[in-house]
Chains A and B, each alone.
Chain A
Amino acid sequence: MAPPSPRRPGFSRRAQYSLFAGYVAAIAGALAGLLLIVTARFDPAGHAALQGFFSDTFAPVSSAARSVGAGIASGFESVGAYFDAASKNRAMKEELNAARRDLVKGKADALENRRLKKLAALVERLPEGHVTARLVSSTGASSRRFAILAAGSGDGVTNGQPVRTPEGLVGRVVQVGIRSARVLLIIDGGNIVPVKRVPDGTPAIAYGLGDGRLDLRPLAAGTNPFKVGDIFVTSGTGGIYQPGIPVAIGIRHNREGTIGRPLADPAGFDFAIVEPEFAIPPPPAPDQTDGAGK
């Protein structure tokens, strides 16, 4: 006999009604879900607030787990290091000699640098309002690339702020809860970063490809001036990202653009810095004291 199905409740009125109510609830709920998706399209701010509330609740869990994960990974690394110790030893000795030479040269350069800076009266300013926090997890099953940051509006993170590590740009905050924030990584397919090539400043736009790489498109159409190994930094065009944050290195050249690898390796993120949103400074007001002072 076929297994009894509750979808055919027989003659019981009560069972028939409750079955019908179940279907009505399911279909109404599915429509409500569709409505929520539509709000994500047309009212992203309200939708983000809703999602931020939930992600707050669970951020501490993965924050704790991530430090354990990092410990395990380093454990594997130290076991692996035993296997090629001898050849590594030789290589390291050579490297050490080279490094010593460079160190001496570097010291000399640093001295020179300090002297030049004094001459130019250069002041290095760091923008106010940095927040440092741990990136705790990401949405591995979704086709979007979000990461969860263990800091939220309570720590001074606001929507739209760029997030970076010392190595390079990570992404930008798209949704803030009180204790956690969601970061749209630059490798997400929906993220666009204006960049420039480092030595000469050739402008380009970096699109995420969604698979851990970036597509670097030059603004000038027709030819592709970029080469493998070119380094790209943010240009600051259009605000949001401070100029000069490293973004990507070119790894493959094709006709209409270059495929790049993000310099900040997403798999190795640990601590990230949330920077204040960059606003293009207004043109300086004409200096009026200059003429009167003399």
Chain B
Amino acid sequence: MARYPRSRIGRAPSSAQRQGVPIISTMIGSMAPLLPVVATAPVMPPWGLQVLIAWRMLHRNLWSVWMGLPLGMFDDIFSGQPLGSAMMLWTLALLGLDLLDRRMVWRDFRQEWGIAGGLIVAVLLIQLLISYASGGATNPLLLVPQMLVSILAFPLVARICAILDDWRLG
């Protein structure tokens, strides 16, 4: 192997780095509600879910399908939804992406963006239904800005994940 200044050939990043970066970045996304802002309306995109989908779309072999359970549980701790809602919905989202992989093997980014947008909107709507079941009564129209922001922010999140991925794989 040729020795080259600062060569990355022949050096593999540690497995902790390879496995840990996607998980930790998703967890950081989930912790966004800890930001010291008291919001009056649902406006923040669900960052954790967005990071999860972005990683899943970068590498379809990265996680086993049950990975949505621990990550979703971590998200539930902060999100204000009843415990278990993200556990269920994230796992279902990963299962859905799995099914989709069999249908559409080749996808370009616009298609992935559309798929991610659809998933995020579906998750937000189901979470609204869950919050109705546990005593909330928010008008569904109030979620429209949040959905738009989430869809528009997805390419940004995917971009950040791609940069992290570059670093992760050395």
A residues apposed to B, CB below 8 Å: 2-7, 22-23, 25-27, 29-37, 39-41, 44, 47, 50-51, 54-55, 58, 61-62, 65-70, 135-147, 182, 187-190, 207-212, 266-267, 269
Contact = CB atoms under 8 A, between A and B. Distances in A.
A2 B106 contact: yes
| Ranked 3 nearest A-B pairs via Cβ | A36-B84, A139-B80, A212-B40
Given A30-B88, A36-B87, A40-B84, A143 B142 contact: yes
23 contacts: A5-B61, A26-B91, A32-B84, A33-B69, A33-B85, A33-B87, A54-B77, A58-B34, A62-B34, A66-B36, A68-B36, A139-B80, A141-B32, A141-B42, A143-B131, A144-B80, A145-B39, A187-B40, A208-B137, A209-B142, A210-B42, A266-B39, A266-B40
A257 to B, nearest CB: 14
Given A68-B36, A136-B36, A22 B84 contact: no
A72 B128 CA distance: 33
A211 B139 contact: yes
Interface stretch (B17-25, B44-52, B157-165): B44-52
Nearest to B42: A143
A253 B72 CA distance: 42
B37 A33 contact: no
Interface of B: 31-47, 60-61, 64-66, 68-69, 72, 77-89, 91-92, 94-95, 98, 101-102, 105-106, 124, 127-128, 130-131, 133-139, 142-143, 146
Contact of A210 (B35, B81, B84, B137): B137
A33 B138 contact: no
Contact of B83 (A5, A40, A137): A40
A139 B87 contact: no
Nearest to B88: A33
Contacts of B82: 36-37, 40-41, 47, 51
Contacts of B60: 3, 5
Contacts of B37: 69, 137-138, 140, 267
Given A22-B66, A37-B88, A212-B41, A143 B33 contact: no
Residue from B40, B128, B130 with most neighbouring chain A CB atoms (10 Å): B40
A6 B61 contact: yes
B40 to A, nearest CB: 3
A69 B31 contact: no
Contacts of B43: 140
Residue from B84, B130, B134 with most neighbouring chain A CB atoms (10 Å): B84
Contacts of B146: 141
B127 A143 contact: yes
Given A58-B31, A65-B36, A143-B131, 4 more contacts: A22-B64, A26-B65, A51-B77, A140-B33
Contact of B138 (A6, A32, A65, A189): A189
Contacts of B84: 32-37, 39-40
Contacts of A182: 80
A189 B136 contact: yes
B33 A137 contact: yes
A40 B76 CA distance: 12
Contact of B32 (A4, A140, A190): A140
A140 B143 CA distance: 11
Contacts of A6: 61
Nearest to A183: B38
B137 A146 contact: no
